[in-house]
Structure 1
Amino acid sequence: MDLDPEGIFRDDSDEDDDNLHEREANKEMVVYLIDASPRMFTPANAAKPDEKQETHFHTIVNCITQSLKMQIIGRSRDEVAICFFNTKEKKNLQELAGVYVYNVTEREQLDRPDARLIKEFSCVEDSFMNNIGSRYGITSGSRENTLYNALWVAQALLRKGSVKTVSKRILIFTNEDDPFGGITGAAKTDMIRTTIQRAKDAQDLGLSIELLPLSRPDEDFNMSLFYADLIGLEGDEVVQYVPSAGEKLEDMTDQLRKRMMKKRKVKTLSFAITNDVCIEVNTYALIRPTAPGTITWLDSISNLPLKTERSFICNDTGALLQAPQERFQLYNDKVVKFSVRELSDVKRVSSHHLRLLGFKPLDCLKDYHNLSPSTFIYPSDEQIFGSTRVFVALHSSMLRLGRFALAFYGTPTRPRLVALVAQEEVISSSGQDEPPGMHMIYLPYSDDVRYPEEVHLTSGDAPRATDEQIKKASNLLRRIDLKHFSVSHFANPGLQKHYGILEALALGEDEMPDIKDETLPDEEGLARPGVVKAIEEFKAAVFGENYDQEEAEAAAAKGGASKKRKAIADAASQKSAAYDWADLADNGKLKDMTVMDLKTYLTAHGLPVSGKKDAIISRILTHLGK
């Protein structure tokens, strides 16, 4: 099973200059705007008497810390700035009140996530009140508007770089759905108008403004009071944007991960619909094998990375030759020469990356056809204008008629037939769960499909489960069924331990972080009385009522055999101790001993006793190191 079709998951170090330019174009610049008003330091939920009450501010600090750690591993080229608003102290280049820029001081460049930033920010809550302070930034009788100031500072921080090559985002964290609720009259109207206008000006410059709302225990976050207008939501978008009331506070980390770790294209393909119609699509990786990284060999003296070079040397003269420009192949005792360009043309099986062949009903696509992870494709109008319109027409027709498209995926190294399966958009209360598009499934070759041998048994020979056994098995499966199971929910424990060691070294921590192995069975869940009862009933139905007694007798018999072997080994050890084996080996007297005496040494030391006398002596000498 090839987990890396066509090398789309290759390491960054393997990319050429063109892909390096594409990778840099996908860089993101993010400003985290964190509300530091006193409301953020109130308990986030109704905790039990023995539990420590957690605040929204603490939750946001943990979420951003985890996000920064993931960015170091997966997206280390991104740049971030952390900014608090509604603070007593101010620190920003614009000298605006109530805004404190945490990690960007006397310069305008944003920081790349590093160990120092993560270590300092994770402890910011301990000294926040003493060093930065908290206050209500928008109060009655005051003309200060700290939210307006925060948007102004964030826009200034994101001034560097073009929106065509860099994605710029502002993420706002707050639990106050009406920041201007404490004032009334013309002052409130003016502040709302100027703040929304400031947000629209930022969006006109290509900046994306997003909100991660937090609901207080006594009331839900109401987007329609202010923030729907700030980020530009209309109609049903307001209801879909706010998480459902049943979501727990710890889900905030997953929400932030979904918004920060967006899918990025790995390749752009040309999709030939007919001979005269060709559109452009982007491909996205749904499953990416995670590896610790490539090994970099360093020079032992200079500690610089080593580079591999290949040279051609003449056998006769030893002179350095240039790389051969031609290749040859023997055919019918003749030398057929090929240039590098000709070989490349021979391997090129298609002028297009993707060519449509036809359509088939969805029931023709079997489960065993999906042998390797699929690739998600989505239209793009960057190079070929109108690609989205053609793709949408094809996508809607395939959904309506229940068809999948059969296409030829021509690459120089591995031509494949692929199935394009249309996917509908899925939207829930927390936003878009699945985007519209197509899954490109790599169909197997005929040799990849294995047909099991059919064994014809008579009705008397074939084992049949009784109705009672089937009933107990069904009950057991219902008890241990994993709800909403998905393989993507489990992290690789080996890689998590590897990253945990790197994290401890980078942050200078003395103790290793606790790594939970999610692949191990849930022992606590299996120990529930209902599950234990279902397992015992299933065993009794299959093996009989006295199966536990039979297991105990088998274990006892096995224990008796082991005791007998131990007694023989002890007797051999006592008999072997009577000889000075090292002295016998040095004086060459082992050959004078009997085979039975020699075997006592082998038995005492757990060595094989088979073979002739010479083989036994050789085995003893080897064990003695002679």
Structure 2
Amino acid sequence: MELDPDDVFRDDEDDPDNELYQERESTKELVVYLVDASPKMFSTTCPAGDQKDETHFHIALSIISQSLKTQIINRSYDEVAICFFNTREKKNLQDLDAVFVFNVAEREHLDRPTARLIKEFDRLEERFMKEIGSQYGIVSGTRENSLFNALWAAQALLRKGSAKTADKRILLFTNEDDPFGKIKGATKIDMTRTTLQRAKDAQDLGISIELLPLSRPDEDFNVSLFFADLLGLEGDDLAQFLPSAGEKLEDMKDQLRKRMFKKRIIRRITFSIANGLSIELNTYALLRPTTPGTITWLDSVSNRPLKTERSFICSDTGALLQVPPKRYQSYKNENIKFSLEELSEIKKVSTGHLRLLGFKPLSCLKDYHNLRPSTFVFPSDEGSGWQHFHFHCPA
């Protein structure tokens, strides 16, 4: 096989050019956590007297806190905002009633998750009622619509970045399946229509809205009352929504954590099959051992990094050699000299392509053939429709 394993299957940290490729391929995630703060959210999730009794509001905040911690570790360049609606106080750039954006003050952009943000957020629940407050922002006999205002504020926060460079999501936490249930007549129809149109406008801008319903064990969240239209659910999607949402709520922290892990593409290579037929492959590092970082030597006085320099001295004259050293290979009583560039070209026997030579039974693959951790190859999504074809290639 005409390839250099050290070139084709090396890790991305071994390839300085791959850093730019990784930055180009990866997308930033912009998330607005939209939390219902109505009095119903402060009702307990279990019957009275249960030792594990906790409110839906507490569950939502604990999930968001865990998600922020995960983002710091895995995707620190993501940006988030935490927005409450159905609140007594208001704080948002549009000065909308019943909407309180927790971590955005006078600025018009989201924040990266930080330890300070998480620390302040974890202490929010105990002082929420005093500083922010809870009330129904959708009141019968008025035109106040807190859900509409919340979607408007979230859309404004997510206007940064294009759909090609950022994944924009709104995660909606609520236990109210019919936010306009207390409204009657033409007012309810008008509020429902405008709210659905606001959600559609956000989705047209590349913003996905995800509902995370919260309910008591003895209650069912009826998504058909309102949110099915908001999310565009129908048919099988509508029938499967509640079961999938139930599984997500059972282990929500892990579900949100999994969304932060992205497939780690090492590089792209071309797989040549025969007669000029080839497909483009992505290679993935599924498992790599953790290695200590490189040692940085510091000056004991200034604490600045030391720069190492190496000089070659002629053994005959003692003068410093200005010409880079050369390697040589003895051949027929003669030393054949090579430069470092020539040696690099000699070692590079291919352009990093895979070529199909034939097929052998699986029994021919021995354990000792795996000199390094295996690299998984899979056809690129931008290829010619070979998504069904994949194989495992040892390094």
Give the TM-score taking structure 2 as reference length: 0.83
Aligned-partner SS, 2:263: coil
Instruction: Give yes or no for the alignment of 1:253 onto 2:250.
Output: no
- Contact 1:76–1:113 (8 Å) recurs in 2: yes
Q: 1:302 to 1:139 in 2, by over 3 A?
A: farther
Alignment of structure 1 residues 77-476 onto 2, 5 Å: 77-243=77-243, 247=247, 249-287=249-287, 289=289, 296-304=296-304, 306=305, 308-315=307-314, 316-319=317-320, 321=322, 323-324=324-325, 327-357=327-357, 372=373, 375=376, 377-381=378-382, 387-389=383-385, 391-392=386-387, 394-395=388-389, 420-421=390-391, 440-442=392-394
- Contact 1:313–1:319 (8 Å) recurs in 2: yes
Paired letter, 1:227: F
Paired letter, 1:140: S
- Contact 2:71–2:78 (8 Å) recurs in 1: yes
The 2-side partners of 1:44 and 1:373 are apart by 47
What displacement does 1:66 show? 1.6
- Contact 2:298–2:306 (8 Å) recurs in 1: no
What displacement does 1:91 show? 0.7
- Contact 1:312–1:323 (8 Å) recurs in 2: no
Structure 2 residue aligned with 1:36: 37
The 1-side partners of 2:291 and 2:226 are apart by 45
Gaps of 5+ in 1: 382-386, 396-419, 422-439, 444-626
The 2-side partners of 1:28 and 1:232 are apart by 22
Paired letter, 2:347: K
The 1-side partners of 2:188 and 2:369 are apart by 59
1:235-262 CA deviation, whole Å, 9 max, x = no partner? 3223334345874955111122123334
What displacement does 1:128 show? 0.6
Aligned-partner SS, 1:269: strand
Q: 1:139 to 1:265 in 2, by over 3 A?
A: farther
Structure 2 residue aligned with 1:399: none
How many aligned residue pairs are there?
383
- Contact 1:86–1:99 (8 Å) recurs in 2: yes
Aligned-partner SS, 1:59: helix
Q: 1:374 to 1:319 in 2, by over 3 A?
A: closer
Structure 2 residue aligned with 1:67: 67
Q: Which moved more, 1:200-209 or 1:63-72?
A: 200-209
Paired letter, 1:42: S
- Contact 1:271–1:354 (8 Å) recurs in 2: yes
Aligned-partner SS, 2:106: coil
- Contact 1:286–1:376 (8 Å) recurs in 2: no
What displacement does 1:373 show? 5.0
Aligned-partner SS, 1:80: strand
Q: 1:109 to 1:45 in 2, by over 3 A?
A: same
- Contact 1:271–1:352 (8 Å) recurs in 2: no
Paired letter, 1:148: F
Paired letter, 2:312: I
- Contact 2:18–2:266 (8 Å) recurs in 1: no
Q: 1:263 to 1:140 in 2, by over 3 A?
A: farther
The 2-side partners of 1:214 and 1:376 are apart by 40
The 2-side partners of 1:178 and 1:30 are apart by 24
Paired letter, 1:442: P
What displacement does 1:293 show? 5.5
1:70-126 CA deviation, whole Å, 9 max, x = no partner? 222222222211111221111111111111111111112322211111111111110
The 1-side partners of 2:231 and 2:288 are apart by 32
What displacement does 1:318 show? 4.3
Paired letter, 2:9: E
The 1-side partners of 2:369 and 2:208 are apart by 37
Alignment of structure 1 residues 482-497 onto 2, 5 Å: none
What displacement does 1:189 show? 2.8
Q: 1:252 to 1:140 in 2, by over 3 A?
A: same
Aligned-partner SS, 1:162: coil
- Contact 1:272–1:352 (8 Å) recurs in 2: no
- Contact 2:86–2:98 (8 Å) recurs in 1: yes
- Contact 1:27–1:165 (8 Å) recurs in 2: yes
1:263-295 CA deviation, whole Å, 9 max, x = no partner? 353433333343423333334443454567655
What displacement does 1:131 show? 0.7
Percent identical: 58
The 1-side partners of 2:364 and 2:37 are apart by 54
Aligned-partner SS, 2:274: coil
Paired letter, 1:40: M
Aligned-partner SS, 2:229: helix
Max Rg structure: 1
Alignment of structure 1 residues 22-33 onto 2, 5 Å: 22-23=22-23, 25-33=26-34
- Contact 1:9–1:289 (8 Å) recurs in 2: no
What displacement does 1:359 show? 5.7
Structure 1 residue aligned with 2:9: 6
1:416-457 CA deviation, whole Å, 9 max, x = no partner? xxxx44xxxxxxxxxxxxxxxxxx3427xxxxxxxxxxxxxx
Paired letter, 1:65: S
The 2-side partners of 1:180 and 1:272 are apart by 60
Structure 2 residue aligned with 1:467: none
Aligned-partner SS, 1:76: coil
The 2-side partners of 1:225 and 1:277 are apart by 53
Structure 1 residue aligned with 2:5: none
What displacement does 1:168 show? 2.4
The 1-side partners of 2:369 and 2:62 are apart by 39
Paired letter, 1:277: L
Q: 1:18 to 1:288 in 2, by over 3 A?
A: closer
Paired letter, 1:186: A
Aligned-partner SS, 2:170: strand
Q: 1:368 to 1:336 in 2, by over 3 A?
A: closer
Gaps of 5+ in 2: 1-7
Greater RCO structure (CA 8 Å; 6+ sep): 2
- Contact 1:88–1:98 (8 Å) recurs in 2: yes
- Contact 2:212–2:249 (8 Å) recurs in 1: no
Aligned-partner SS, 1:167: strand
1:297-337 CA deviation, whole Å, 9 max, x = no partner? 44433444x2654444333454363545x543333333333
The 2-side partners of 1:77 and 1:342 are apart by 41
Aligned-partner SS, 2:328: strand
Richer in helix (by share): 1
1:183-233 CA deviation, whole Å, 9 max, x = no partner? 233333332332222222222222232232223222233333333332334
Paired letter, 2:394: Y
- Contact 2:103–2:111 (8 Å) recurs in 1: yes
